[in-house]
Structure 1
């Protein structure tokens, strides 16, 4: 099936990447497609765009659902490099918020060692959390944005002394995702989330919340990165070492002494279940973990 992509760095630079393998190169919109907004907060924007498009392409192919995809970023974020180029490829969040969406994705961000209120676009993000509850049928928050959502909702987020860095198992019973990459300096407090009435699907007191469903099932939070490529953690490790940081190698990274991306395919099926798309779980005799959203 087809992704129709309106904007983004990957589309602008498609001769230099694999964008054409993921999206329609001739059209950026279809009346029959579901509308997806991706709020990209990552500094590795083009890489992050391609990773989420690859995840969406899997969901589209499995479910038979086409997607219109639009990328947005906070208008109040200060860009250190390529500001004019990046802003030319992204829709400012206030403009994107004039529309309604079937699904919104909010990425992680490399600001998880900064106090939430000190992030330059914090006020805009907090307002967005309120906006999405009325204007997006479903919203998926990943990594830092999941922790930021928790902070907005007054659920305690702990700053870790050691980065949670590696590939860790999910305890989802019969469900799909066995492992997923994590790269974070925070932990969403498990007990605080329980007291707040979160439906926690994976996590514990030591590890914090890994996956949770909120707002009557229309919001999904993941403290990991379902979208990552198989070598993303390795690249992050080499980047940090190159900056002179003391960083251990990613834990549980190799499977049978090889780098294997064994999370994106099952994660796409998990997200298809949550979105209520073509019944992967029912077709394979599994129970759907998620609440049905009215």
Structure 2
């Protein structure tokens, strides 16, 4: 009897990320193959606020595609915001505006960072819609993962926590302490692990309000908070970038014309030297834990999410 092959991630057949993932031996499912399988995939929405959307799509899809679960990745954008760094053709082909999906249900939502860290939340052009998306996540999404500025924005919206602008950019690869090894989100992560950091602002531990159920899962003595569990909102907040590729920080350094040197990143602090990726496994563990927890706890019927 022929054994049917279950493959984990479903993305659009002609999405640029597909070629990259297939070259890395990440098993990618075509839309046609997915339609033939008699199982319900995990439905994950990616609200991509990053300027280089194709790179971020690839990074997130790589980590979700490494799990043994079938994942259907839906790319979502702010409805009225025009991206300046990604072609209009790519956006119109692969992204759905949030207003178009607001009546739908998702097992998971990932909200990325955005290059607006030094702007007050209320002055960000799409802040009002993002607030509506956060509120919508409480009824139409089972669990949400927020990243970098997206994490700061969610904590500000739900808990009134302010961000603090840094005097210089926190950039590089920093050792982090695992503060909750028994947490399902931290399963398998070592007591100390490397994480890429790239941000101009921070949320401080002393600003976390008591009685809100917020739990610090990981932090660095040098760069502060990294991971916060927010069970009241069914959210996991990550201020740093375990999804980054080996050369992402190098690309940012070149883009910013060398205004800073990422710490603990270039061998010998030589920007011409090839960095060594010491966080790849940690990223796979965290995202694998997240998608597994979503799978274990979500409703069997999508329609029951939020009830």
TM-score norm. by structure 2 comes to: 0.78
Once the two structures are TM-superposed, the CA of residue 44 in structure 1 deviates from its matched residue by 0.7
Q: Distance in 2 between matches of 1:146 and 1:28?
A: 35
Aligned to 2:54: 46
2:239 corresponds to 1:235: no
Q: Distance in 2 between matches of 1:205 and 1:232?
A: 23
1:106 to 91, 111, 128: 111
| Structure 1 gap ranges (5+) | 280-294
2:205 corresponds to 1:170: no
Q: Distance in 1 between matches of 2:92 and 2:167?
A: 34
| Structure 2 gap ranges (5+) | 1-6, 182-187, 296-307
2:35 corresponds to 1:33: no
1:56 to 43, 61, 64: 64
Once the two structures are TM-superposed, the CA of residue 121 in structure 1 deviates from its matched residue by 0.9
2:81 corresponds to 1:77: yes
1:86 to 91, 97, 108: 91
Note the alpha carbon deviations across 1:62-98, whole angstroms, 9 max, x for none: xx21101110010121333533542332100121222
Aligned to 1:136: 141
Once the two structures are TM-superposed, the CA of residue 27 in structure 1 deviates from its matched residue by 3.1
Greater mean deviation of Cα atoms: 40-49 or 171-180? 171-180
Between the two proteins, the alignment pairs up a number of residues equal to 267
TM-score norm. by structure 1 comes to: 0.81
Once the two structures are TM-superposed, the CA of residue 255 in structure 1 deviates from its matched residue by 6.3
3-state SS, counterpart of residue 69 of structure 1: strand
Q: Distance in 1 between matches of 2:108 and 2:64?
A: 11
Q: Distance in 2 between matches of 1:205 and 1:249?
A: 19
Q: Distance in 2 between matches of 1:20 and 1:144?
A: 30
3-state SS, counterpart of residue 259 of structure 1: coil
2:241 corresponds to 1:225: yes
Q: Distance in 2 between matches of 1:271 and 1:47?
A: 17
Q: Distance in 2 between matches of 1:51 and 1:84?
A: 21
2:25 corresponds to 1:18: no
Aligned to 2:260: 248
